[in-house]
Amino acid sequence: MVYVVNELVTNVLKHAEPDDNGMRPTSLLVTRVKDGISAIVSDRDPRPPIERVAKDSDESGRGWALVQALCGAVSTGTTTLGKDVWVFIPTDNEAAA
């Protein structure tokens, strides 16, 4: 879970367009739900995440693919302020949370 949330927030910092003050306002909501954990990262850039195909020698470009692989479900959607990226990570027991 920590890796997924870190990757989503890092993607905002690296890829979202800054506002007029050079900031990238972001919100994070993590919730324990039945059978897992849900996280929503919101930012003001309406562009969806883009999955890139990284070469073996590339030092970046794998994050979105890893998020999709680690989560039970992933969704993105535009909002009146930008976009939301939602993930669900299933857990087998409390220790996994």
Q: List, for residues 24-73, the tens digit of each pLDDT value.
A: 999 999 999 999 999 999 999 999 888 788 888 877 878 888 899 999 99
Confidence of residue 97 (pLDDT cuts 50, 70, 90): very low
Rounded average pLDDT over 9-29? 92
Domain CATH code at residue 84: 3.30.565.10
Q: Return the residue matching tokens 């857990």.
A: 91
Query: Looking at residue 33, what is its pLDDT?
Result: 94
**What is the bridge-based pairing of β-strands 73-78 and 26-33?**
unpaired
- Rounded to two decimals, the pTM is 0.83
User: What's the domain range around 55?
Assistant: 2-17+29-96
Does residue 24 form part of some domain? no
More confident residue, 18 or 52: 18
What total number of domains does the chain contain? 1
